[in-house]
Amino acid sequence: KLSYYNEYKSYLRMIFVFLGVLAATATSFSVLNDDKIDYSGYKILRVNLKEDADTEMVREWAESESVNVLGEGIGGTVDILVSPGFYQPVLSSIEQAELNYEVLDEDVGREIEEEKKELLRAIPGVFDFTNYYAVRYQHLHLDALARAHSDRAETFSIGTSYEGRDLKAIRISNNLVNSDSKPMIWVDGGIHAREWVSHTVVMYFANALLGEVEQQKQATFNSLLDKYQFVLLPMSNPDGYEYSRSSNRFWRKTRRPSGCKYNNCNYGRCYGIDPNRNFDADFGNKGVSRNPCSDVYPGKQAFSENNTKAMRDYILKNLSQIKLYLSFHSYSQLFLKPIGYTTRKPKDYATHDAAGSAAVSAIRNTYGKVYKNIRSVELYPTSGSSQDWAYLKGIVHSYTIELRDTGRYGFRLPAREIVPTGKENLNAFIALLNQL
């Protein structure tokens, strides 16, 4: 059986490469012109992998751009996005390998169209937590918060993106003008473009700290604002996010040109670097690809991207004061602890585990949602993450939270879930601060 399977896998690999070249040739002008991607007929499958050969098979699919890996779960599950043209070869390979699978979404394009209808219901110039908003409206809202609470908040830019958008942050503390020496808490979101709820939750935090929402927690926040200064960067990848809104809902990376398909620009150009593989933490070794079109392409060197450089520079400037680094992603409902590229436990493992336990308990006590408390490497090995870099720089409490859900909607979390996701993670945030 094994010999037959290996022969069959080799045969399928040739088919995928051939189809991939055809697809690249057929779409090269679309890639060059950045035309919109139509996901009509695409499906999302959840596949239960049994052995290393199965994992390698999926990796080869992703390398040849036959599938888009959306998420990897604990216990060997993987969610993959498959186009109509590749669906039958992929399904045949899954069945031949005798792997269990389920279809999470029969027609991704149809659900994206429904999401677009929701976006059109947004009122221009208004920001709230009933929808997902463009970068400019997020930034305008941050500025409005700072004007309304000028004694406790200010906005500033830590840099600009490749396409020239501000990397706008907000600093919040009681008696702000005299807060420069306070310990600092850093929170960021939106590093991966398609993870829309991640930056929206950070926006929710900013509103909560300033009493615009969660008024019942103001006594708690006032105490925290006396003690800390909070720096929140809701949108750390604005170019990618805007592209995910306008052209490709599943776009993950930045938007800087990164190379050519199959090292031949006749097949099309590649764009973007995975910013959460672009930090200098075991850079370029685990969970990455050398294919510049890959979703996990780390770039040619660490901090090659405007946004990762800006984050690095601001964090290093304030390193001695930062007591918590927290980065929000989606999806999977996980509390991720350092380190992501080695199975060796770090010296602060017990501290991390206690913090994670407090956070997931606070989440569960809000709406009953279960977030798992694990080390990043237990999900899958990765190099170059912001969390690991922050930890290696000496920020003991450096964590990532993967938000709702566990796959039904994935990156396309309905807007009706923004507020409950914000509430449960705000409780986790308070629990984390109590661990410092």
Task: List, by residue number, the catalytic residues.
Answer: 402
HEC string of the chain? CHHHHHHHHHHHHHHHHHHHHHHHHHHHHHHHHCCCCCCCCCEEEEEECCCHHHHHHHHHHHHCCCEEEEEEECCCEEEEEECHHHHHHHHHHHHHCCCCEEEEECCHHHHHHHHHHHHHCCCCCCCCCCCCCCHHHHHHHHHHHHHHCCCCEEEEEEEECCCCCEEEEEEECCCHHHCCCCCEEEEECCCCCCCHHHHHHHHHHHHHHCCCCCHHHHHHHHHHHHHCEEEEECCCCHHHHHHHHHCCCCCCCCCCEEEEHHHCHHHCEEECCCHHHCCCCCCCCCCCCCCCCCCCCCCCCCCCCHHHHHHHHHHHHCHHHEEEEEEEEECCCEEEECCCCCCCCCCCHHHHHHHHHHHHHHHHHHHCCCCEEEEHHHHCCCCCCHHHHHHHCCCCCEEEEEECCCCCCCCCCCHHHHHHHHHHHHHHHHHHHCCC
**250 contacts 81 by C-beta, under 8 angstroms:** yes
Rounded Cα–Cα distance for residues 401 and 355 (Å): 12
Q: Which amino acid is at 74?
A: I
Give the distance from CA 188 to its chain's centroid: 10
Rounded Cα–Cα distance for residues 190 and 237 (Å): 6
